[in-house]
Structure formats: C-alpha cells, structure tokens
Structure 1
C-alpha cells in the first residue's frame, strides 16, 4: 500500500476543544515518522494533527459520540449541515437563545440538526468546554466573548469535509479504535490528561477518564509497540505517567493551557511526549 503523505493547504479545526494541540504543532512535527501506512487517532478531539498531516488513509475515534456524530455529518452531509448552521449564525451573541438550544432534547433532532446544534454550542459556550452532567446532558454555561464568535467558515468547513472522506470514524473507547492497528501504522495518542494539581478539565464524557484508564492505555501502548506501530503520545508530566512509560523515550515540554477560568493560569503547564520510534528510543 502507498505510504501516507502530506499535502499543501491549510485546514483548521471546526470546533474548539480542551487540550487542542495547535500551539504544540511545531514541536510535534519533529516527531512524526517520515513514512507510515495509515494514521490512527483514538482521541480525536479537534483533530488538528489529522487536519495538518492530511494522511490519505486514517481512522479517527473518540469516546465523545456527539463529536464523532458531528464529524460524520461534516463528512457525509456538508450541504445540509451548512444550511442548518445558517439558521444559528444570527444568534451567536444571544444568551437566551443559547440556553433554549442547550435545553433541546437531542434525540428529537435529525443527525444534521444535532451536528449544527453541537457546533453552535461549542462556539458560543464558555471557552469551548465540553462537559456533561450525570444524565449525559451538556451543561456548560453561555460564554463571555469580547466580540461575537464566528460560527463557521464555509470554505474551511468544506475543506474539512473533503479531508474526512479519507477517514473511518469510530465512536467508542480507544481500544476499539486501535484494535486493527498493525505494523507500519502511525498512532497519535492524546488522552484526557492524568490529573495533577493544576489540571482540572479531564472529564469530557459522563464516564470520565480514570487512573485505571491511564494504566490500560499504557498496556495498549506496549501492545501496539509489539505490533510494530509507530507511536506518539502526549500527557501531563506526572510521576505516574513517567512510570507507566519508563521504557520509552520521554521528552518534557511546556505548554499553555487554553481552558482555565483564570487567564493567568493558562501558561507554563509541564507535559511530556512519549515515543517508541526515532533516535533515543530505549
């Protein structure tokens, strides 16, 4: 099979997502493998790596079913989705309308309507945070914006739609997304970070992501390594994370944290990159 490669052109994420890696891209690019068969990302989020790497063959997964459902509509029903988004666009600064939309029962909506609602809530809520209550209902308050947010860029949205045609989309646990990974595949793993003293936003689904999940992910990492996959993982720089990946290459980095209620605390967050390929791997 032909190796995946990179193409020219800029396409941006269509949603704002906690833990997005836009600012870390220059560092991450240094650790992409030169050649790989297929790209797999089980914690897709805003999918900025996929959108910049532009692989010709990919699997994107996430435990957030609303997110994957949205990407599916972007890929498969782009004209209808844009038509639905146009009805939301005049209301991006309307707090009352926001709560009305937030309170709608998603099960009463079509898939396209749910995707449009998802994008609207993401762009107008507090800091693009995704959070649900115990009943699985989205409960983030209306955001405070210096200027009305732009709901969508049609050219960019169509560009994302085109790129997503190269991807299989999986809504589910990370193990489900990576189960078919094999030798030569490149996997980028960006889980909800291990909680530390200044890391609070780690629960993006009703089930959250626990310490046991981090240990399960580390076991999966070793399994994928044994299969001959090329792996790059990001996480917070904690004792547990370093212990779990002690047999692999660990690179410390400092990043800003975009989602924090206190703007002064949106900087200086210690993270690590974990690799099983490239110079320096044990």
Structure 2
C-alpha cells in the first residue's frame, strides 16, 4: 500500500477554481450542474436544496437567497465551517498526514467533541482519503468507510475560499427535507437530489446518516412535492430511472438525463440514465438541452 505524505495536502492551481464545490459526494451533480441550472424555472424567490450533498447546483447557480440543508450533521457542520472559518479549516488540513494510521485516528474521532473548524476539516479529510470518497455510517452514526490510499490534494485554496464566500450568504441547516417544504412559498425553487431509489450497484450506498432513505420516504417526498406544487413552488427532482421511480413521482414532467456512475466498480455499468422531474416546462425546449 502506498503511503502519502503532507506534500499532497493542498493545491493552488487556478484551473476551474470558481463555481464548484470543495468536496465530491456520491451521487453529486458536479458534472451536470450547468445543464440542471440551464433548465431552472423562472423563479424569483428563495432557492432551496434540502438534500445538500456537495451542493453542486447551488455553486453553479449562485443564487442571491438560498437555504441549504441536509440530515447529515457532519456535512452540515463542514459547510458551516467552510462558510465561517475557511482559513482555520485549511490550516487544520495542512496538519493532517495522508496515512492509513492517521486515517484510522480521524475515523474514530467523536465529531461532537471537536471545534467547528476541526469538525469541518475532518469531513473534508475523510472525503478525500476514504475509499471512493464515500460517506457511510453505521446505525450509531460512526463513519465506517475504509482507507482509499489516494494521492490527491485535500483542497484547492481558491475553490474553498470561493465556496466560503458563496456560502456566507446562504442559510445552512440540519433538517429533514420536509422543513424546506414547510417554509417555502410561491415563487421559490426547490431542487431535490435525494438518495436514489435502488437499482443495484452504486444505488445501494444510501446510509449517509444513522438512518436510511426508504421507499416510504420517497413516497413522503412525492406527497410534499404535490403540496408545494399547489402553493406555486417550482420543483426539480433527480432520481434513478426505474419503474418504481416513475410510479412514485407519476404526474410530474419527466426527462431522461445521461449520467456516469464512477462509484460502480464495473466500468461497463458506469454509464446510465437519471430521471429529472419538474412541475414546469424548462425554459429551453427539452430536445435543445444537451442531457435531456
């Protein structure tokens, strides 16, 4: 096994330093954020992203008013740390060696005993050094992904500082998705990227919190969407291309989006399709959108 050292910690490259997230998240929309933003509704209110993940669409959109939320307390703490204390987060990361031994120490830490910037650095460190960048916890909420032995920077300074600036104007909450629906009003836009309905392989990685996202949660989500639709809230949902998905979210406009699943160990299965549901017609004709 290759051991990595401190020289791999940071990157000052100016390449694509703006408009993207500082972490990669399983199922994140970094590759497709520009296409999803191109299909945004003509909203004039608040942007809501209740399944925050890497918040790729938020960073691409750069809305003037936004509420980001997630049920994963560590992810929320990380985003708050980057928003409030980016220099401290980066300084902490600069002290964290990329070795199997140190990884095990960090993995066993109780995050609730850490300062905010330490907690944020821990999430970024584990995201960059764990196997395939997965975030998976057991029923006790303990991180249980093995070491990945990757020789790559923990952060790009320009990217992280740009993300910090964008996040400083957003509200970041730890909450179940239904909070966004309870507080959204007519003219707002809710972008939804929940754990996908399983279709095998990558889709089975869904324990990002001590609980899981089950079929009844998707049904609960669909009900909340219909209630928000009645109030004039704009909605966009991404999910897996399965019969179950089409049945649960039946009635919304649906488009197919070509995607790639790097988390799948078999390269032949990495190419696939997502479904994109909306309660409005995208501003561009669907055939003119590259991925729809």
Q: How high is the TM-score relative to the length of structure 1?
A: 0.89
Give the drift of 1:135: 1.5
Q: Hey, what's the Cα distance between the residues in 2 that align with 1:262 and 1:105?
A: 34
Equivalent of residue 174 in structure 1, options 167, 172, 177: 177
Equivalent of residue 134 in structure 1, options 124, 130, 139: 139
Aligned residue number for residue 192 of structure 1 = 195
Q: Hey, what's the Cα distance between the residues in 2 that align with 1:28 and 1:107?
A: 35
Give the drift of 1:29: 3.0
Aligned residue number for residue 6 of structure 2 = none
Q: What secondary structure sits across from 2:199 in the alignment?
A: coil
**1:139-179 superposed Cα distances (whole Å, 9 cap, x missing partner):** 1001143xx11111111111111100121111121002332
Matched, 1:106 2:114: no
Q: What secondary structure sits across from 1:60 in the alignment?
A: strand
Equivalent of residue 247 in structure 2, options 236, 239, 243: 243
Bigger Cα displacement from structure 2, 199-208 vs 46-55: 199-208
Bigger Cα displacement from structure 2, 254-263 vs 243-252: 254-263
Q: Hey, what's the Cα distance between the residues in 2 that align with 1:82 and 1:197?
A: 37
Matched, 1:66 2:39: no
Gaps of 5+ in 1: 1-8
Equivalent of residue 231 in structure 2, options 223, 227, 231: 227
2:43 and 2:234 in contact (8 A); partners too:
no
Bigger Cα displacement from structure 2, 97-106 vs 208-217: 97-106
Q: What secondary structure sits across from 1:241 in the alignment?
A: helix
Equivalent of residue 211 in structure 2, options 186, 207, 212: 207
Aligned residue number for residue 123 of structure 1 = 128
Aligned residue number for residue 82 of structure 1 = 90
Q: What secondary structure sits across from 1:23 in the alignment?
A: helix
Q: What secondary structure sits across from 2:155 in the alignment?
A: coil
Equivalent of residue 57 in structure 2, options 19, 42, 49: 49
1:43 and 1:62 in contact (8 A); partners too:
yes
1:10 and 1:52 in contact (8 A); partners too:
no
Give the drift of 1:26: 4.3
Bigger Cα displacement from structure 2, 224-233 vs 169-178: 169-178
Q: What secondary structure sits across from 2:35 in the alignment?
A: helix
Q: Hey, what's the Cα distance between the residues in 2 that align with 1:29 and 1:237?
A: 20
Q: What secondary structure sits across from 2:68 in the alignment?
A: strand
RMSD: 1.8
Q: Hey, what's the Cα distance between the residues in 2 that align with 1:205 and 1:136?
A: 6
**1:62-118 superposed Cα distances (whole Å, 9 cap, x missing partner):** 111100111011111222222212212xx12x1121112111222332121111111
Gaps of 5+ in 2: 1-16, 287-292
1:31 and 1:232 in contact (8 A); partners too:
no
Q: What secondary structure sits across from 1:231 in the alignment?
A: strand
Q: Hey, what's the Cα distance between the residues in 1 that align with 2:165 and 2:30?
A: 21
Q: How high is the TM-score relative to the length of structure 2?
A: 0.86
Q: Hey, what's the Cα distance between the residues in 2 that align with 1:173 and 1:275?
A: 21
The ranges of structure 1 where at least 4 consecutive aligned residues each deviate by more than 4 angstroms after the TM superposition are none
Q: Hey, what's the Cα distance between the residues in 2 that align with 1:254 and 1:155?
A: 30
